[in-house]
Amino acid sequence: MENKNIHLKNRKVLKISGANCIEFLNNILTSDISKLKPKEALPSALLSPQGRILFYMLVSSNNLNKSLNDKSVFVEYDIDHQNELIKKLNMYNLRREVTIEKTSYEVLVTTNNADYPHTLIDKRFFNEILRRVYIEDQSEIKNNDVNDDKNINWYDLLRYKNCILEGSKEIETNVSLPLETNLDLLGGISFEKGCFIGQEVNARIKWKGVVKRKYVPISIQSKKLSYLKLNNLDKKKIFLENKEIGEIICLLYNKEDDLWYGIAKITLSNLYSFELDKNLEGDFLDAKIKINFPKFMLPLPKKI
């Protein structure tokens, strides 16, 4: 991959600090915060008691301040839910033993580790060379960091091909289950660390059965497709042999290979057919749709 940088203006960073900040986050978030390694960003989520995703985030150790007294964790989140997230964290911070504060850090993503001295490996992408950067001084942002939405496509394209959801527009609040979004397969859930909010529901799903739907990467070849059609909910539906099997969540056009890439939510019972037959295609409007399973998703889970 050629070296690229992008400034994600829809992402912000919270700083969670205090002697008990690790224990605090470990008790409420899905991932094991106690196992955070330096220079790594891990996916995590804050769930409802019913086990649904309220806030999807990336967590990392604070490596920017070398002070031994500064014990803190960074939480990267979608800016659209900033106030709700802070309110929810403060609600669980009953004894006020930790400090939850906004930061002025800007979030950048880069494929060139040499561009910035302090980078985080985004563990969701496995073999991809991708780093996240938190920058407080905007003058440090390189001139080649594009800021307009049109140029964000290379990052979204990489996410979609790897089935990496991000933000409230792709993960429906208080609706999606973590195992539907493959959060468990991306290292964002620990069932060994003990209880967390919503843990019982998801543990039961994992050990006694399977989710009804899964988010999967898709590709479509169509000259007529447009974003306008996706604004109509009925037009998002995907069919297999005239049977509705799911819907498209997000989609973008890649000019280089003349294909549309995105992520769809498909019923698991129908995904088995695509797993068995790699040439099988679904129907979306007047186009054929292919499901491109990343390696980490296979084999699909089977009901016990």
Domains and CATH numbers, the chain: 5-161 (3.30.70.1400), 212-297 (2.40.30.110)
Per-residue pLDDT tens digits for 37-57: 988 999 999 999 999 999 999
225/211 Cα distance (integer angstroms): 30
Q: Are 239 and 206 in contact (CB under 8 A)?
A: no
Per-residue pLDDT tens digits for 66-113: 444 567 899 999 999 999 999 999 999 987 789 999 999 999 998 877
pTM of full prediction above 0.85: yes
163/153 Cα distance (integer angstroms): 15
Residue 139 φ then ψ, to 5°: -70, -15
The sign of the CA dihedral 286, 164, 131, 62 is: positive
Instruction: Record the tokens describing residue 107, joined without a space.
Output: 């979030």
Q: Are 144 and 200 in contact (CB under 8 A)?
A: no
| pLDDT grade for 139, boundaries at 50, 70 and 90 | low
Per-residue pLDDT tens digits for 171-216: 999 999 999 999 999 999 999 988 899 999 999 988 877 789 999 9
Q: Give the CA distances from residue 42 to residues 66, 133, 151, in Å, rounded to whole numbers and listed in that order.
A: 21, 14, 25
- The identity of residue 49, as a single letter, is P
The closest alpha carbon to 107, from 84, 83, 130, belongs to 130
